[in-house]
Structure 1
Amino acid sequence: MIQATDFKNAMSLLTSAVNVVTTAGASGRYGFTASAVCSVTDTPPTLLVCMNTASRSHQHFIENKILTVNVLGADHQHISNVFASKMSTDERFKYGNWSELETGAPVLDDALVNFDCQIEQIQEVGTHSIFICRVVAIQNGQDHHSLVYFNRAYHHVGQVEIA
């Protein structure tokens, strides 16, 4: 049997994009830092987002039925840390400039890319919910350097511009 710590240690070696996933609606405005986000299909455009059911904002994502995946650029490490912290929701959204696209979920204006989504399905697996999300709007940013997480540390990935 594989132990949870062995699995976590192995997964720390899987490089992941760093995202802040946000929601807004009747249940309020919330967000969290996530690396468990991936493409499901391009027809229709669909993402998978995993969220711990013990998160204080978990129920709000379910009630609002929308979310935006804000893919962080190399300069957004502080925003990743803020949305992973114990800070209040109102305090978290004081960092960065936020607007909205089609669903009304908060969009980080200078993110690498934003995927604005409707949550279409929710599957419970162990300690997490898997949100299957139909992408209804995309906004591309100007940054070409991504923030990734590997071996329990942040790293920057992207094009090197040659003068």
Structure 2
Amino acid sequence: MSEASSFRDAMSLLTTAVNVVTTAGDAGIHGFTASAVCSVSDNPPTLLVCMNQASRSHTPFVDNKVLTVNVLGAHHEHLSNVFASKLESDERFTHGAWHTLATGAPVLDDALVSFDCEIEQVQAVGTHSVFMCRVVAIKHSERAGEPDESLVYFNRRYHSVGQVCQIDMA
């Protein structure tokens, strides 16, 4: 087994949130499914997003210099698959309902939360680019009732988390 294959197998056991990352601008509208997203700082609010440089959407993200991280709920498994597929970019956006915030990057109407960002730095690391993104707007889900369950990826399969558990301490 190669070192890269062994690393991918090990990383499959790291539970990650599933996100659809989008951009729009002079370079067009694009989006992809990503699990490599994390917070960097809250002052200023900054996220890190990783993207494969071989992706057909890579150049538009770099050129547009904006993106939105749309955090998916358990009910978005189909949308995650659409944005991970070989569908053309404009066809991907026929799935789901979209609007925009400050940057003009597409925001999923019913995402658990969306982080609208300006890309401040791009760093090449191996096969991927690391985008350092300053958050300029945040939109929380407007779905009524209890918070939704989050869509996560673990051991090469989708799962949901966020169920409320009651523990009887008697």
TM range (shorter): over 0.9
Match of 2:164, SS? coil
Opposite residue 40 of structure 2, the aligned amino acid is V
Answering whether residue 41 of structure 2 is matched by residue 41 of structure 1, we say yes
AA aligned to 2:18 is V
- The percent identity for this pair of structures is 70
> What 5-or-longer segments of structure 2 have no aligned partner?
none
Q: Does 1:63 align with 2:63?
A: yes
1:26 maps onto 2:36 in alignment: no
Equivalent-residue separation in structure 1 for 2:11 and 2:163 (angstroms): 26
Say whether 1:6 aligns with 2:6: yes
Cα distance in structure 2, aligned partners of 1:140 and 1:80 = 19
How many equivalent residue pairs?
A: 161
Aligned counterparts of 2:4 and 2:165: Cα–Cα separation in 1: 41
- Match of 1:82? 82
**Structure 1 counterpart SS, 2:120:** strand
Amino acid at match of 1:90: D
The whole-number CA distance in structure 1 between the counterparts of 2:163 and 2:113 is: 16
1:149 match: 153
Distance 2:163 2:12 in 1: 24
Cα distance in 2, alignment partners of residues 113 and 150 from structure 1 = 21
Question: Structure 1 segments of 4 or more deviating over 4 A?
Answer: none
Residue in 2 aligned with 1:126? 126
Report SS of the residue matched to 2:159. Answer: strand
The CA deviation string for residues 105-145 of structure 1, in whole angstroms up to 9 with x for no partner, is 00000001000000000000000000000000001113421
2:100 matched to which residue of 1? 100
Deviation (angstroms), 1:161: 7.8
Cα separation, 2, equivalents of 1:86 and 1:93: 13
CA distance in 1 between partners of 2:44 and 2:134 (Å): 7
* Paired position in structure 2 for 1:117: 117
Is 1:160 aligned to 2:164, yes or no? yes
Q: Residues of 2 paired with 1:98 and 1:50: CA distance?
A: 23
Structure 2 length normalisation: TM-score? 0.92
SS at match of 2:6: helix
What RMSD, in angstroms, separates the aligned Cα atoms of the two structures?
Answer: 1.2
Distance 2:164 2:109 in 1: 23
* Unmatched tracts of structure 1, length 5 or more: none
How far the C-alpha of 1:90 sits from its partner, in A, is: 1.3
Structure 2 Cα separation of the partners of residues 146 and 6 of structure 1: 28
Q: Distance in 1 between matches of 2:38 and 2:165?
A: 28
